[in-house]
Amino acid sequence: MADLLCAERIGSVSESVADLDPTIFSDRRVLDNLLTEESRYIPRCNYFATVQTGLLPFMRKVVATWMMEVCEEERCESQVFSIAVNLLDRFLCEVRVDKTQLQMVACVCLLVASKVRQCHALSVHKLEHYTDYSVSSDQIRQFEVVLLAHLRWDLSAVTGYDLVDHVMERITWSRDQYPLVRRHAKTLVDLCYLEPYLFRTPPSLIASGCLLAAARGLKVPEASVASICALTRCCPEDVTRTASHIETLMHEVAFATPRSPPSPALAAPKSAHPHDHDTDVTTPTDVDYIFF
């Protein structure tokens, strides 16, 4: 019998990370299965033009930004945000909601995503608090059943975040700057999930574009779009175009001035346990100064 080993490193308040499982990340079949399954989790339509006639793209961006802020405040696992946004988009393809219900749906998506992707689920009462009590705990609990029913309990979606590590484990040019490339790429993935015009972009294309943009930003030698596309099955032209689009978006966000939230209920979450966020000195400057 093999010895059981806990490889989790708990040396930082902000991040506790376990080593990548070699059984999963050394088997190409896992990456192939992710690429095969990703089409199931792409929102089936542009719901702004069909289902959600009362919602506008900027509303989706506002609520997605609020979701990211809640995840940061509660120090959620990194995958929770992208899964929650995917659940939100897929649900909005199925059920028409009023704009006053959008934050309630976002709360339920965060709750469900935290149950799927981390050990401890978000507290319903904290979610209620973060909405400035515009959504009640009972509403969140009741609507959770509605969301699960319409998504047919198919919750463990494939996102761009899932694919980044699998690709990085197989490209040789990322070895020297692995932690930086990984962190930069995953920050860009989160940025992509904020944008309403990217919500139907395949996860493989998001991951590919973010990796290429990260490598360019960090000036990684020998970085090539061909090596990424060989793993993700994406068209090189599409990846190059997506990376350029992400770089433009990152530049716009990095130098944007903070804006007042359009609605008190969607303001930055009120901290339930205030803490200081230290800046990692190894993080590229353009990532440090992104304003979400």
Top pLDDT among 252 and 3 is at: 252
Express as a percent the part of the chain with pLDDT over 90.
60
| Alpha carbon distance 138, 123 (integer Å) | 13
Non-local CB neighbours of 125 within 8 Å, separated by 6+ positions: 137
| Cα torsion 53, 58, 60, 66: sign | negative
- State the pLDDT confidence band at 178, using cuts at 50, 70 and 90: confident
Count other Cβ atoms within 10 Å, centred on residue 104: 21
- State the pLDDT confidence band at 269, using cuts at 50, 70 and 90: low
Which of these ranges, 85-94, 200-209, 211-220, has the smallest mean pLDDT? Answer: 211-220
| Alpha carbon distance 69, 1 (integer Å) | 44
Supply 235's token pair: 């068209």
Q: Provide the CB-side half-sphere exposure for 71 (13 A, CA).
A: 27
Q: Are 77 and 115 in contact (CB under 8 A)?
A: no
User: What residues does 17 pair with on adjacent strands?
Assistant: 9
| Alpha carbon distance 140, 128 (integer Å) | 8
| Alpha carbon distance 84, 105 (integer Å) | 10
Q: What distance lies between CA 239 and its chain's CA centroid?
A: 19
Virtual torsion, Cα 184, 190, 196, 201, nearest 10 deg: 70
Q: Are 117 and 101 in contact (CB under 8 A)?
A: no
- Residue range 177-192: average pLDDT? 90
Supply 96's token pair: 């028409």
